[in-house]
């Protein structure tokens, strides 16, 4: 299946997200779609997959002009997209999700659907049980389900948006093998949107790079990380370094005593932890292993089953989130729009929420505060822009702008999730500046390099068990990966 994008344009208000982009993709090839956050790559892929209408240009499939509206129409043209967060139905089982949306819908014979599901799973080595509820699947398994569902509908071009976020090394190997097989044996066109350059180097046959809404170039692989970074940003980025901080004598900011937490799929029992001012503690593990529960318990968003949470010497066990906010504790959720920001509100309205304390809002003053913070945090947006129109990187910058300048403690879920290398470095510059002023930081991440680069020590979560790496500077990515996978031989428990 060959695809041509000709002179594609897309505007979001004054932002020209896609500016006269022309690209062609051939069957049997895996193509990486690269660019910094806000470059327009996700917008372009959403246009191709029917999730966004274009303002100008055309799509040609096998030489013929294709006009369609909506993702189901795109699927009928052979184009399907796997979103970063799979679009499944939580109340359904694996089998019900598999047959949902296909010809015949839920009236499709379950026996026929089960046989088709099992056939595709066997080919690619996917581990999916038909009667398992979606809530019991990992992110990697949900991605596998979405892939087999799209394949069963005859998709010939498969678009994947950040598919390796939150999945294990083993699941990534299975996914990559499946994608290579689809391209080589079935002649499919695979389009990979990713900020993980190591994934692009390992998987792709060619890359297309966008910058500022324009196509800046294409090239065949192989290429080095430095060459790809130079295409994305116009220059290679210097290596990131940080100075070790002397924590001797630093006060304890956070103390957890015999803490027990219970979630839907995991229980963390009898955890004791002390975090000092200026210390950075990384939390590693697959999604749902317990690290998110710990972060939320530290800010009053999850009530412990037992044990104590002590912040700044004050016992806050069971206190509401607003009490932790009053003690200058900051929380950053992984779901930027779901929990961190408010869709539909403008940037000025967001800034007013944290700067205006009276009963009435001085909108002129709030706008001035907004302009100042947009400049300070380099947010590409206008005071009147709605927050959902920003790219992921700019939403993350806005979240930083909403946080206090010198918090006592920061608890952050995947603070660089989905960000390009330059945006991720910028986020860490802000965090390290707060650390230098005495802020203690707990953060979770699926990026093993990030955990080893920025943590003073690392807690590894696996099925509710926790193991500590007391000196992160001595930890290797391979060692950390083995621990995340549950191989604890020789490791010391926390």
pLDDT digits (tens, 9 = 90+) for 126-145: 889 999 998 888 777 888 89
**Left if phi > 0, otherwise alpha if psi is -120 to 50, otherwise beta: which for 31?**
beta
- CA 187 to chain centroid, in Å, comes to 29
pLDDT digits (tens, 9 = 90+) for 162-209: 888 767 677 788 889 999 999 999 999 999 998 888 899 999 999 999
What integer pLDDT is reported at residue 306 of this predicted model?
96
Indicate whether 415 pLDDT > 50. yes
Q: In terms of pLDDT, which residue wins out, 165 or 1?
A: 1
Residue 192 CA to residue 7 CA, distance in Å, equals 21
For the entire predicted model, the pTM comes to: 0.75
Determine if the peptide bond prior to 222 is cis (ω within 30°).
yes
Helices (H), 306-463: 321-326, 347-355, 363-376, 392-402, 421-436, 448-454
**Nearest Cα to Cα of residue 117 among 85, 141, 135, 136:** 141
Q: How confident is the model at residue 492 (pLDDT cuts 50, 70, 90)?
A: very low
Q: How wide is the angle at C-alpha 103 spanned by C-alphas 151 and 86, nearest 5°?
A: 45
Identify the pLDDT of residue 307. 96
Over residues 265-284, the pLDDT tens digits come to 788 999 999 999 999 999 99
Q: Specify the range with the lowest mean pLDDT, choosing from 167-176, 236-245, 312-321, 357-366.
A: 236-245
Q: How far is CA 244 from CA 22, 185, 454, 456, 493, in A?
A: 47, 50, 10, 8, 25
Residue 217: exposed, middle, or buried by beta-carbon count in 10 A (0-12, 13-18, 19+)? exposed
Query: How does pLDDT run across 13-59, given as a tens digit for each residue?
Result: 878 999 999 999 999 999 999 998 888 998 999 999 999 999 999 99
What residues are paired with 459 via a beta bridge?
A: 283, 468
- CA 301/CA 288 separation, integer angstroms: 16
Query: How much is the pLDDT for 103?
Result: 64
Q: Which two tokens stand for residue 466?
A: 């926790």
Helix (H) or strand (E) segment spanning residue 442: strand 440-444
Whether 106 has a pLDDT exceeding 60, the answer reads no
Structural domains of the chain in order of their starting residue, each with its CATH number: 3-233 (3.40.50.300), 238-328+406-494 (3.40.50.300), 342-403 (no CATH)
pLDDT at 242: 64
What is the structure's pLDDT at 194?
87
pLDDT tens for each residue of 282-321: 999 877 788 989 999 999 999 999 999 999 999 999 999 9
Range from 230-239, 290-299, 320-329, 392-401 carrying the lowest mean pLDDT:
230-239
E strand spans, 212-336: 214-220, 252-262, 267-276, 280-284, 306-311, 314-315, 329-332
For residues 333-350, give the mean pLDDT. Answer: 88
* Cα separations in angstroms, 443 against 68, 182, 431, 448: 43, 36, 11, 12
pLDDT of residue 75: 93
Nearest to 125 by CA among 58, 68, 173: 173
- What percent of the chain stands above pLDDT 90? 56
Residue 289 CB contacts under 8 Å (≥ 6 apart), including other chains: 266, 461, 462, 463, 464
Across all residues in the chain, what is the average pLDDT?
A: 89
């Amino acid at each position: 299946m060959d695809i041509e994008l000709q002179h594609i344009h897309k505007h979001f208000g004054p932002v020209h997200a896609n500016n006269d982009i022309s690209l062609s993709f051939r069957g049997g090839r895996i193509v990486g779609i690269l660019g910094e956050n806000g470059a327009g790559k996700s917008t372009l892929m959403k246009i191709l997959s029917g999730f966004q209408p274009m303002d100008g240009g055309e799509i040609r499939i096998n030489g013929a002009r294709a006009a369609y509206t909506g993702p189901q129409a795109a699927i009928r043209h052979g184009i399907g997209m796997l979103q970063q967060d799979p679009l499944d139905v939580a109340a359904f089982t694996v089998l019900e999700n598999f047959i949902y949306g296909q010809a015949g819908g839920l009236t499709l014979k379950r026996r026929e659907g089960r046989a088709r599901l099992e056939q595709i799973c066997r080919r690619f080595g996917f581990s999916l049980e038909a009667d398992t509820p979606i809530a019991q699947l990992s992110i990697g398994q949900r991605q596998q389900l979405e892939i087999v569902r799209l394949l069963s509908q005859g998709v010939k071009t498969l678009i994947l948006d950040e598919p390796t976020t939150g999945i294990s090394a083993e699941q990534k190997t299975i996914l990559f093998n499946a994608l290579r097989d689809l391209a080589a044996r079935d002649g499919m066109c695979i389009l990979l949107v990713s900020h993980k350059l190591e994934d692009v180097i390992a998987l792709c046959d060619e890359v297309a790079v966008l910058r500022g809404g324009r196509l800046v170039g294409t090239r065949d692989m192989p290429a080095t990380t430095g060459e790809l970074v130079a295409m994305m940003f116009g220059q290679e980025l210097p290596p990131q370094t940080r100075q070790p901080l002397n924590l001797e004598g630093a006060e304890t900011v956070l103390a957890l005593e015999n803490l027990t937490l219970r979630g839907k799929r995991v229980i963390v029992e009898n955890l004791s932890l002390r975090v000092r001012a200026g210390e950075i503690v990384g939390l590693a593990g697959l999604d749902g292993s317990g690290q998110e529960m710990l972060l939320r318990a530290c800010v009053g968003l999850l009530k412990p089953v037992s044990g104590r949470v002590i912040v700044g010497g004050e016992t806050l066990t069971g206190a509401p989130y607003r009490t932790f906010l009053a003690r200058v504790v900051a929380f950053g959720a992984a779901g930027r729009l779901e929990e961190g920001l408010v869709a539909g509100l403008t940037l000025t309205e967001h800034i007013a929420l944290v700067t205006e304390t009276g009963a009435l809002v001085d909108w002129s003053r709030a706008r001035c505060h907004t302009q100042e913070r947009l400049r300070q945090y380099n947010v590409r947006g206008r005071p009147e822009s709605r927050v959902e129109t920003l790219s992921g990187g700019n939403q993350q910058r806005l979240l930083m702008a909403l946080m206090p300048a010198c918090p006592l403690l920061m608890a952050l879920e995947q603070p660089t999730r989905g960000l390009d290398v330059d945006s991720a470095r910028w986020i860490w510059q802000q965090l390290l500046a707060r650390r230098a002023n005495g802020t203690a930081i707990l953060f979770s991440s699926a990026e093993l390099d990030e955990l080893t680069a920025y943590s003073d020590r690392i807690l590894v979560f696996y099925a509710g068990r926790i193991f500590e790496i007391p000196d992160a500077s001595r930890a290797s990515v391979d060692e950390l990966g083995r621990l995340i996978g549950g191989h604890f031989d020789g490791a010391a428990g926390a």
